[in-house]
Amino acid sequence: MIQLLRHALKYRELISAFVGRELRARYKGSLLGGAWLLLQPIIFLAVYYTVFIEILQFKMLSEGDLGLAAGDAASELTVAKLSALAMFIALVPWTVLQESIVRSPGVITDNGNMIKKISFPAELLPVCLVGYGIVNLLVGLTVSVATALIVLDGNPFTVAVFALPLVVIVQACLMLGVAYLLSSISVFVRDIAQVIPIICTVWFFFTPIFYFRLPKPEYQWVFDWNPAALLVNLYRAVLMGGQLPMGSITDTVWIPLGKLAAFALVVLYIGYSVFMAKKSDFADEL
């Protein structure tokens, strides 16, 4: 782990160049260029609000959850806005997490020409992938924070908002650990690249993105054993904890953050260890 940090610091300019290249390649030839980084989450927010809230009249919350008068027009509008915001805040980190996981199996196999160069530090490739994802995450969170300020009508964030950088760091560690593990395994088992998108699709429906709580308490273990559920609810607690019926900051932020951080560090340790153990065999397999 310390070696990983040293390499990241030593090759920080190379990592920055790789992330910048990825960003430029994604929007190369487009008229708006890098502006799409900001426009995409804004468009997604508008689409989800229009489709789920305006057209389908979908509400993940109720007036009772928020302590509002049932049947009141102002209360219904507040519920609709908070439901859309809660949905979007969960969707942003999930989208980044999913894209990182789906792309992880190809990190090494798609860069065989660089891997075969003896002097190239292969362990930087997963870092570059995660770095690109974090850039997208930060842009999406910027839109989330701006939207929250508008939707909450100037209501200040709670003290939990100061935990936001920690949540981002924990997500980065989780993504990096998964990237190391999947990228190294897929060199030897190419089926991984086909299986992961299917797993992510199933995982999506077991993650509380389009719903806030499970109607049957006996299925609470789905949340308890789902790191993505911990992650998206952490973002909600940090950015909307003062408006949602989630409980105290200890129960909704610090305890889940500690659990997720422990899990992420274990995944990172295992992933990095497996990667470094198999690194010498990559060139022969490719």
Q: What is the pLDDT of residue 143?
A: 81
Within a domain: 73: no
- Contact yes or no for 243/68 (Cβ under 8 A): no
Q: What is the mean pLDDT of each run of 10 residues along the chain (286 residues)?
A: 68 72 66 62 74 70 57 62 81 90 87 70 85 87 81 71 92 94 89 90 87 70 83 89 69 88 94 87 71
Within a domain: 230: yes
55 DSSP 8-state letter = I
50 DSSP 8-state letter = I
Question: What tokens does 62 get?
Answer: 């109720």
Number of domains within the chain: 1
Distance CA 201, CA 85 (A): 22
Within a domain: 168: yes
- Contact yes or no for 8/113 (Cβ under 8 A): no
Within a domain: 127: yes
Distance CA 190, CA 1 (A): 27
Within a domain: 75: no
Distance CA 98, CA 52 (A): 22
Q: What is the pLDDT of residue 276?
A: 85
Within a domain: 36: no
Q: State which residues form the domain around 170.
A: 2-23+91-285
Q: What is the pLDDT of residue 62?
A: 59
Within a domain: 72: no
CA-CA-CA-CA dihedral for 200, 202, 208, 209, to nearest 10: 60
Instruction: Give the residue ranges of DSSP H helices in 11-123.
Output: 12-26, 36-48, 63-66, 73-103, 106-109, 112-115
Within a domain: 175: yes
